[in-house]
Amino acid sequence: MPHAHGPTLCSACPLAEAGLPPAALGAAGAAIGVIQVAKGQLRTCEDLSNHFAIVRKGALKVEFLNPDGRAEIAGFLFQGEVLVCSVSDQDVAITALEDAAFCDVRPDRIAQDVAGAAAALTRFTQAVADQSGLDQRRLIQARSGPVEDRLMWFLEDVAARQKSDAVHLPMPRSDIAHYLNTSAESVSRAFTNLRARGAIETRSPRRITLTN
Amino acid sequence: MPHAHGPTLCSACPLAEAGLPPAALGAAGAAIGVIQVAKGQLRTCEDLSNHFAIVRKGALKVEFLNPDGRAEIAGFLFQGEVLVCSVSDQDVAITALEDAAFCDVRPDRIAQDVAGAAAALTRFTQAVADQSGLDQRRLIQARSGPVEDRLMWFLEDVAARQKSDAVHLPMPRSDIAHYLNTSAESVSRAFTNLRARGAIETRSPRRITLTN
């Protein structure tokens, strides 16, 4: 028997922050479905036309596929962040960096006659624009300046998004190198230099503490 | 005396494409104001919180300002394109590359009780996401691969957005070089090479024809 209500909104969800009334989500999860993705599992953007994917748990890697088939890492998404991709652009792949779940949100199925729903949807549009503006700024920062500065920026950016100076890196070094548009060797050297000058401490390859 | 209705929507406007009923725009331009920007005039993103700027005429340059004050060109916007920037991120500057106008859209002032308005707003959210996905893909393409390939990609991208193989480039060469993350000399060389192999014809510095 299907349950009578869809999933509840996480506190980190931009729909919750926009003040969407729970009643607007409809019965039986009409407006939101939760999709589990096992670590390493890949999905295309194709089934996201008219949908929005919002990370519920874990972390996702977003890649754009070039016409020649080469994948370019566009970024990483953590809890509460919206996957912003073009529906006219099917060549986007999302991979779970660890066991993850995302909410598949259908704004067109949100009951807009529930008091406050339409205003919340308008605020959600702004949240999508916010996420997108940050995504673009990150793409520029990731590719500008010396590798050591870029790596430090990346660690600070992840720390801010995870709201902790003890940074959890769910992605391998090779993904960080690709995202920063450089080689794995340069990233290793930059990690060594940041440790040497006391900017970070390495607790394990995937756990870094910012010391500033 | 203020006119009784706001501006009409251009056919290229994503609000028009989303099917927004004109009656939802409210009287006296409640939801849309038209702002003229003279060539070279600069505006910050600050007055765009809860607003969207959509290019009505001309072309805009979008720059992100780094903490150290350096400006990075994030992209260019042509008619019908939405400026997608973070409201939490005031360090965005938009400059008119030629005499331009944009619509300052306030989605929260769109009358959502007009039939069809809420559904159109939902489609507008998707249009913002589309624009943003393309913006991100462009940022990656602009900075990946040999300069000559990047310049050719840039010219083809502008041609597609202007819907013409006779490309009008409203930005100076120095802006193209900056956007492609390279030097003005490299861009000049790439233009020369593209002409030499017959991929483009130069009618004037600002008018390029794609020959393929």
Q: Is A53 within 8 Å of A83 (Cβ atoms)?
A: yes
Pairing, β A200-204 against β A52-57 = unpaired
Higher pLDDT, B104 or B68: B104
pLDDT at A148 over 90: yes
Confidence of residue B125 (pLDDT cuts 50, 70, 90): confident
Neighbouring C-beta atoms of residue A148, cutoff 10 Å: 18
Strand (E) or helix (H) holding A149: helix A147-162
Q: For chain A, say whether B146 makes contact (Cβ under 8 Å).
A: no
Residue indicated by tokens 């020959």: B211
Strand (E) or helix (H) holding A65: strand A60-65
- Considering the domain boundaries, does residue B41 fall inside one? yes
For residue A108, give how far its alpha carbon lies from the nearest alpha carbon of chain B (Å): 6
Looking at the fold, whether B163 and B137 belong to one and the same domain comes out as no
- Considering the domain boundaries, does residue B111 fall inside one? yes
Which tens digit of pLDDT belongs to each residue from B174-194? 999 999 989 999 999 999 999
DSSP notation for B145-171: S-HHHHHHHHHHHHHHHHTSSEEE--S
CA distances from A69 to A171, A182, B204 (A): 22, 19, 35
Contact list in B for residue A17 (CB cut-off 8 A) is none
Neighbouring C-beta atoms of residue B4, cutoff 10 Å: 8
Q: Pick the residue from chain B with its C-alpha nearest to A45.
A: B133
**B52's torsion region: left (phi>0), alpha (psi -120 to 50) or beta?**
beta
CA distances from B125 to A87, B119, B194 (A): 12, 10, 38
pLDDT at B87 over 60: no
Confidence of residue A30 (pLDDT cuts 50, 70, 90): confident
pLDDT reported for residue A3: 43
pLDDT reported for residue B106: 86
Q: What is the dihedral of CA A195, A182, B135, B100, to 10 degrees?
A: 90
Q: Provide, rounded to the nearest whole percent, the portion of chain B with pLDDT above 70.
A: 90
Confidence of residue A192 (pLDDT cuts 50, 70, 90): very high
Q: CB A128 to CB B128 under 8 A?
A: yes
pLDDT at A47 over 70: no
pLDDT reported for residue B27: 64
Q: Nearest Cα to B127, choosing from A44, A93, A117, A88?
A: A88
Size of interface A-B (CB pairs under 8 A): 132
- Considering the domain boundaries, does residue A8 fall inside one? no
pLDDT at B5 over 70: no
- Encoded tokens for B120: 């159109």
pLDDT at A2 over 50: no
Q: What does the angle CA A145 – CA A91 – CA B120 come to, to the nearest 5 degrees?
A: 100
Q: Nearest Cα to A81, choosing from A58, A50, A51, A108?
A: A58
pLDDT at A48 over 70: no
Looking at the fold, whether A25 and A92 belong to one and the same domain comes out as yes
- Dist CA B19 CA B193 (whole Å): 45
Looking at the fold, whether A154 and A194 belong to one and the same domain comes out as yes
Q: For chain B, say whether A71 makes contact (Cβ under 8 Å).
A: no
For residue B154, give how far its alpha carbon lies from the nearest alpha carbon of chain A (Å): 14
Looking at the fold, whether A38 and A79 belong to one and the same domain comes out as yes
Contact list in A for residue B125 (CB cut-off 8 A) is 107, 121, 124-125, 128
Looking at the fold, whether B114 and B161 belong to one and the same domain comes out as no
Q: For chain B, say whether A26 makes contact (Cβ under 8 Å).
A: no
Domain containing residue B186: CATH number:
1.10.10.10
DSSP notation for B46-90: GGGTT-EEEEEES-EEEEEEPTTS-EEEEEEE-TT-EE---TT--
pLDDT at A49 over 90: no
- In angstroms, the first-to-last Cα distance of chain B is 53
- Dist CA A134 CA A204 (whole Å): 28
pLDDT reported for residue A90: 58
CA distances from B142 to A83, B13, B178 (A): 21, 25, 10
Angle between helices B147-162 and B184-196 (to 10 degrees): 80
DSSP, collapsed to helix, strand or coil, labels residue A4 as coil
Q: How many domains does chain B have?
A: 2
Q: What does the angle CA A173 – CA A177 – CA A179 come to, to the nearest 5 degrees?
A: 115
- Considering the domain boundaries, does residue A180 fall inside one? yes
- Considering the domain boundaries, does residue A4 fall inside one? no
pLDDT at B4 over 50: no
User: Where a domain ends, among A87, A117, A141?
Assistant: A141
Q: For chain B, say whether A118 makes contact (Cβ under 8 Å).
A: yes
Q: For chain B, say whether A143 makes contact (Cβ under 8 Å).
A: yes
Q: Which of residues 149-208 of A touch B (CB under 8 A)?
A: 181
Mean of pLDDT values over B130-136 = 85
Q: For chain A, say whether B44 makes contact (Cβ under 8 Å).
A: no
Q: CB B64 to CB A132 under 8 A?
A: no
Q: CB B143 to CB A181 under 8 A?
A: yes
Confidence of residue A83 (pLDDT cuts 50, 70, 90): confident
Q: Which amino acid is at B68?
A: D
Q: For chain B, say whether A85 makes contact (Cβ under 8 Å).
A: yes
DSSP, collapsed to helix, strand or coil, labels residue B202 as strand
Domain containing residue B101: CATH number:
2.60.120.10
Contact list in A for residue B137 (CB cut-off 8 A) is 64, 74, 86, 89
Looking at the fold, whether B61 and B85 belong to one and the same domain comes out as yes
- Dist CA A22 CA A5 (whole Å): 9
Q: CB B74 to CB A137 under 8 A?
A: yes
Higher pLDDT, B6 or B2: B6
Looking at the fold, whether A92 and A58 belong to one and the same domain comes out as yes
pLDDT reported for residue B208: 96
For residue B141, give how far its alpha carbon lies from the nearest alpha carbon of chain A (Å): 8
- Encoded tokens for B121: 């707003």
Kindly report which listed range (A15-19, B45-49, B107-111, B207-211) carries the lowest average pLDDT score: B45-49
Q: CB B108 to CB A88 under 8 A?
A: no
Looking at the fold, whether A172 and A89 belong to one and the same domain comes out as no
- Dist CA A148 CA B65 (whole Å): 20
Looking at the fold, whether B137 and B152 belong to one and the same domain comes out as no
Confidence of residue B122 (pLDDT cuts 50, 70, 90): confident
Strand (E) or helix (H) holding A76: strand A71-77
Q: For chain B, say whether A42 makes contact (Cβ under 8 Å).
A: no
ipTM field = 0.79
Q: For chain A, say whether B76 makes contact (Cβ under 8 Å).
A: no
Q: CB A132 to CB B137 under 8 A?
A: no
Looking at the fold, whether A180 and A205 belong to one and the same domain comes out as yes
- Encoded tokens for B89: 């991120």
User: Where a domain ends, among A114, A141, A168?
Assistant: A141
Mean of pLDDT values over A179-195 = 95
Contact list in A for residue B50 (CB cut-off 8 A) is 126
- Considering the domain boundaries, does residue B8 fall inside one? no
Kindly report which listed range (A61-70, A139-148, A166-175, B181-190) carries the lowest average pLDDT score: A61-70
- Considering the domain boundaries, does residue A1 fall inside one? no
pLDDT reported for residue B90: 58
- Considering the domain boundaries, does residue A151 fall inside one? yes
CA distances from B151 to A136, B34, B158 (A): 20, 33, 11
For residue B204, give how far its alpha carbon lies from the nearest alpha carbon of chain A (Å): 30
Q: Given B85, B108, B143, which is nearest A133 (Cβ)?
A: B85
Looking at the fold, whether A40 and A137 belong to one and the same domain comes out as yes
Looking at the fold, whether B136 and B153 belong to one and the same domain comes out as no
Q: For chain B, say whether A88 makes contact (Cβ under 8 Å).
A: yes
Q: Is A101 within 8 Å of A57 (Cβ atoms)?
A: yes
What burial letters (b/e) apply to A21-47, b meaning 16+ CB within 10 Å? Answer: eeebbbeebebbeeeebeeeeebebee
Confidence of residue B57 (pLDDT cuts 50, 70, 90): very high
Name the residue range of residue B179's domain.
147-210
Confidence of residue B6 (pLDDT cuts 50, 70, 90): low
Mean of pLDDT values over A105-112 = 84
User: Where a domain ends, among A126, A141, A156?
Assistant: A141
